[in-house]
Amino acid sequence: MPVHILALVGSLRSGSHNRQLAEAAVKHAPEGVTVTLYEGLAEVPFYNEDIDTDEQRPAAATRLRETAARADAFLLVTPEHNGTIPAVLKNAIDWLSRPLGSGALAGSPTAVVGTAFGQYGGVWAHDDARKSAGIAGATILKDAKLAIPGSVTRFAETHPADDTEAVAQLVQVLSALAAATKVPAS
């Protein structure tokens, strides 16, 4: 049975380099690993405990939770917005943290990767994503990380899936996630 990793991307822009990095993860997943890029984070409303009831929970939030519940691990792919994690990714973490203590993130191996224009590749946002997901109950793989600086120039003419160095580093992160799951890789 393959290890199933769910990739959540913190950028909604269709041409985002972070989305492309997630596409590279899908394309280059190691043998025995399947990466699924979640579509639909833009439709998930901001978390509000008042609507997080069986009677009122939005369908988009239910779909996110159901999809996440089937994942063995999570890959959070995030740019840096004003020095921190984008709201759309933070919102997904909030929805997946509930019910408190038993949400889809609870105990799930999770790694954070991404690219940004700046010289550090978005590390502030990556640190905030690790912090938030960890508080939500995820098992953060602290050594499985990838921050690619200079995205605008580095990926101006090359998709991350065609960048040998980026792919090699991404495969290392995916392999670490797979090894951290309780699912034996096939």
**Residue 185 resides in a domain:** no
Look at residue 186 and tell me if it is in a domain.
Answer: no
Q: Determine contact, residues 38/77, Cβ cutoff 8 Å.
A: no
CATH of the domain at 43: 3.40.50.360
Which residues does the chain have with pLDDT short of 50?
Answer: none
Confirm whether 54 is domain-assigned: yes
Domain span holding position 61 = 3-180
Each residue of 60-109: pLDDT tens digit?
999 999 999 999 999 999 999 999 999 999 999 999 999 988 899 999 99
The count of domains in the chain is 1
- CA dist 154 → 140, 157, 160, 165, 177 (Å): 28, 8, 9, 11, 26
Tell me if 155 is assigned to some domain.
yes
One-letter amino acid identity for 40? G
Decide if 141 is inside a domain.
yes
Is pTM, for the whole model, over 0.85?
A: yes
